[in-house]
Structure 1
Amino acid sequence: MIMKLIIKLLLNALAVVALSKLLSGVNVDTYTTAIIVAVVLSILNVLVKPILIVLTLPITILTLGLFLLIVNAIIIILADKLIDGFTVNGIWTAALFSILLSVLQSILHSLLKDEKRTKNQ
């Protein structure tokens, strides 16, 4: 279980580094910073995101869930403020980073699951 968590965090850090190379508005200084970003984003998603979702529920319902993109961007900007060496230029860059990070994480985690399926067969 711990090994699975470490592998997921490393895959998330890899996704953060890849997106920092792809997006001009996102900068990660070192690979260690990318790992810290992955850990902090995980913690923020567990602790802060549910509170933000509850607080913004009326506007989320009015926008048919699209406001959750802004909530995700706020989480990214909060990580930017907490971590030296990780910068995001603006809320729209953070929203795009959040969307691409989710897609890339899904792809990487599905590769991890496919690898386990082939080992079990």
Structure 2
Amino acid sequence: MLRRLLIAWIGNVAALFVAAGLLDGIDYGDSWWALLLAALVFSVVNWLVRPVVTVLSLPVIILTLGIALFFVNLLMLYITSWLVPDFTIAGFGSAVGATIIVWAVNAVLSATVFRRIKDED
């Protein structure tokens, strides 16, 4: 479980770094510590809060054929920005873009790097 959280954290560091680099509205104050903390908080929020929110919103997720999961992920980013003072999201458009970028980076990492790590176990 700890290893899985560590892998998620590393992936989220990369994803948030890419999102902040590509979007003007995502900022971590040019502090690596803020980026590392934001990625850690985002990983823990996804691990603890996301399952609860997903279960509570299950009827909406089913009615929208899974599209509501995008907004669950968006909420996890907003919770992270609320908990980490140096990690800011300037607006809804930036949050939408960041959610897409975080998903894409984690999808690429899961399909390549993290799959190799999992296969080695």
- Please give the range of the TM-score, normalised by the shorter of the 2 chains: 0.7 to 0.9
SS of equivalent residue, structure 1 residue 24: coil
Partner Cα separation in structure 1 for residue 64 and residue 2 of structure 2 = 38
Alignment gaps of 5+ in structure 2: none
Structure-1-length-normalised TM-score:
0.80
Q: Which amino acid aligns with 1:12?
A: N
Distance 1:73 1:7, change over 3 A: closer
Q: Deviations over 1:34-72 (max 9, x none)?
A: 111111111111110011111111111111110111111
Identity %: 29
Counterpart in the other structure of 2:19: 19
Count residues in correspondence. 119
Q: Distance in 2 between matches of 1:71 and 1:43?
A: 15
Instruction: Give a deviation string over 1:56-106, Cα, whole Å, max 9, x none.
Output: 111111111101111110110010000011001233422321221121122
Q: Which amino acid aligns with 2:102?
A: L
Structure (1 or 2) with the larger CA radius of gyration: 1
Question: What residue in structure 2 maps to residue 33 of structure 1?
Answer: 34
Structure 1, unpaired ranges of 5+: none
The 5 A counterparts of 1:1-121 are 6=6, 9-29=9-29, 30-113=31-114
- Mapped to 2, the partners of 1:55 and 1:5 lie a distance apart of 23
Following the alignment from structure 1 to structure 2, what is the Cα–Cα distance between the partners of residues 90 and 110?
Answer: 30
Aligned CA RMSD, in angstroms, stands at: 2.5
Please report the TM-score for the alignment, with normalisation by the length of structure 2: 0.80
